[in-house]
Chains A and B, each alone.
Chain A
Amino acid sequence: MAEFEKANSIGEWFDQRLNTSGFWRVMMTEYWIPKNINFLWAMGALLAMLFTLLLVTGIFLLMYYKPDVNMAFDSVNYTIMQEVAYGWIFRNIHGVGASVVFLVIYIHMFTGIYYGSYKKGREMIWLSGMLLFVLFSAEGFSGYMLPWGQMSYWAAYVITEIFGGIPFIGDELVIWIRGNFYVADATLTRFFMLHVLLIPLAILGAIVFHFYTLRFPHVNNEEGEFFDYKEESEKYLAGNQKESKVIAFWPDFLSKDFMVISIFMIFFFYLVFYHNAFAMDPVNFDKADGLKTPAHIYPEWYFLWSYEVLRGFFFDIAGISGKSLGLIAFGFAQIIFVLLPWLDKSPMVKPANQRPVFKYWFWILMADLFVLTIFGKLPPTGINAWVGFYASISFIVLFLALPYLTKLEAKMVGGK
């Protein structure tokens, strides 16, 4: 065993046993972040904050929530909302937080796309981020079922029904997922388990992994500039902080993150207290009824774009049913963002506005996602159905064209 001398302070006592100072140095004071970044680089810390908020409020909701078809609705709408002291605030934070976390995820994700932060050694950052997006989507979906209102029930019904489109095993798969022929008690309890245990565990693991993927390629910067981190960090440590292109994660970078978090939290709690209705669909304040379909079924806003891709194909093409086409398009939409590092053939790591072709692609994609989101909420009748159809087609064409467009761009800029 190594020699241990008597410690002179509590800090030293822990340092001897856990090397806390070394750990702090590696994780914080000598973890280097580029200087050339803006507030969009604070979204990661913001997401960590929001996830913590969801975790903590979730723990408090868990103490009164009852995962049983006969009790769930009242345990939320009566017990938590009216009886438990401050229960309403935990629910509002949890509901608004679930909605807003997707807003920040989308900002985070499209920041990455805009600045080309998925390329040239940063592929694992992108992949682990997309894994987190999938896990958060599953978490959002499973959580939405728990209040057992009409929208909870029918969203669960429609989404589980999607698996019925898988050839050969579809019908059995739907029954297996639900644990019944319809969305029932077995469905509620198993999605409760997923929501409060399995998926959060997976998310925690994926967050740690996502942080780790940043370690070696380092976070991208505003100009997509590559530089020698060793050289720049030595400048910083030698006291030449003004000339160095890097700053320390702590105290330099995180202190700015905390500033952004502070501003965001004021906005967030403004929503929680005064404008929480957008996260609380009125239809979901009717108790779930398997024999009464609401007139319009729509998901929460963050799933609208992919929902619209799913139902955009409302007629048969070349003998393939509209339902199957929608399902194929939906599957495409779910995985295509994951493949982005390999669809973008241009070696340029630059913000989109400096890329001659990609800038158009990026903003057309944004516009298309916006249209899909708007029309995903509207009833799919008349002209709406056609707008949805063309917006869905555009989405697919955009991604299929990306390799060709970026190859063209690579030629234009001479492979730089």
Chain B
Amino acid sequence: MINESRRGFMGKAFGAVAAVGAVGSLVAMKRSWDPLPSVMAAGFTTVDMSKLEENKLEIVKWQGKPIFLLKFAADMPAVEKRSVKVGEHYYSVMIGLCTHLGCIPAYSSANKQFKCACHGGEFNAAGIHTFGPPPRPLDIPPFAIKDENTIVLGESSPEYEALIASLSTDNNIA
């Protein structure tokens, strides 16, 4: 009887130590697979918009994705719920991956449209799909307008939230 209870105690003690060890190990193992601090810091990209030329596509890299930045010329009207006003000018700020299967569309300044070589999808300068298989306009990355020449990609802002909100309501209506 005494032996039984001693052995029972040893069993429980080992169980407790093993459980604490197991939980600790799992936490450490899970955390070791998390993105490193340097990777998290690189999750933001600051862009100087003053360097952009009108109707000429600029591609920057943000979180490994191509981001399309297009400064609208005077003859290109701003598109409601799509265009971003930074300083005096309107811009398209979009993730440059076709919403069909993720290829990168090319921009033609002459036609003012994007064309995807993979399956023939077309988007206008504001990134709205006008032809072919793409199911929705080009996605908009989180951005924050810092001053009249600077935006930061990867950081949310009221301007960004407004664009996204209008998107989801549009989808509901459709």
Which residues on A are within 8 Å of B, measured CB to CB? 175-184, 186, 190, 290-293, 295-297, 379, 381
- The contact sample of 28 A-B pairs, CB cut-off 8 A, is A175-B35, A176-B30, A176-B34, A176-B35, A179-B33, A179-B36, A179-B39, A180-B35, A180-B39, A180-B64, A181-B35, A181-B65, A182-B63, A182-B65, A184-B39, A184-B64, A186-B35, A186-B36, A186-B39, A290-B65, A291-B59, A291-B66, A293-B102, A293-B104, A293-B118, A295-B103, A296-B118, A297-B101
Give Cα A290–Cα B103 distance, bound, in whole angstroms. Answer: 11
Residues of B near A186 (CB, < 8 A) are 35-36, 39
Give Cα A296–Cα B103 distance, bound, in whole angstroms. Answer: 9
Q: Which B76-92 residues sit within 8 Å CB-CB of chain A? A: none
- Which residue in chain B gives the minimum CB-CB distance to A161? B102
- Which residue in chain B gives the minimum CB-CB distance to A297? B101
Pairwise interchain contact B33-A190, C-beta atoms closer than 8 A: yes
CB distance from A389 to the nearest CB of B (A): 15
Which residues on B are within 8 Å of A, measured CB to CB? 30, 33-36, 39, 43, 59, 61, 63-66, 97, 101-104, 117-119, 133
Pairwise interchain contact B117-A181, C-beta atoms closer than 8 A: no
Q: Is the interface of B mostly helix, strand, loop or mixed?
A: loop
- Which residue in chain A gives the minimum CB-CB distance to B65? A182
The 6 closest A-B pairs by CB, nearest first: A182-B64, A181-B63, A293-B103, A180-B39, A290-B64, A291-B66
Contact residue among B34, B66, B97 (Cβ-Cβ distance under 8 Å from A179): B34
Taking A293-B118, A381-B119 as contacts, is the C-beta distance between A181 and B64 under 8 angstroms? Answer: yes
Give Cα A297–Cα B35 distance, bound, in whole angstroms. Answer: 26
Give Cα A186–Cα B37 distance, bound, in whole angstroms. Answer: 12
Give Cα A290–Cα B66 distance, bound, in whole angstroms. Answer: 9
Give Cα A181–Cα B36 distance, bound, in whole angstroms. Answer: 11
CB distance from A306 to the nearest CB of B (A): 18
Pairwise interchain contact A295-B117, C-beta atoms closer than 8 A: yes
Residues of A near B118 (CB, < 8 A) are 293, 295-296
CB distance from A229 to the nearest CB of B (A): 40
Residues of B near A291 (CB, < 8 A) are 59, 61, 66, 104
CB distance from A214 to the nearest CB of B (A): 33
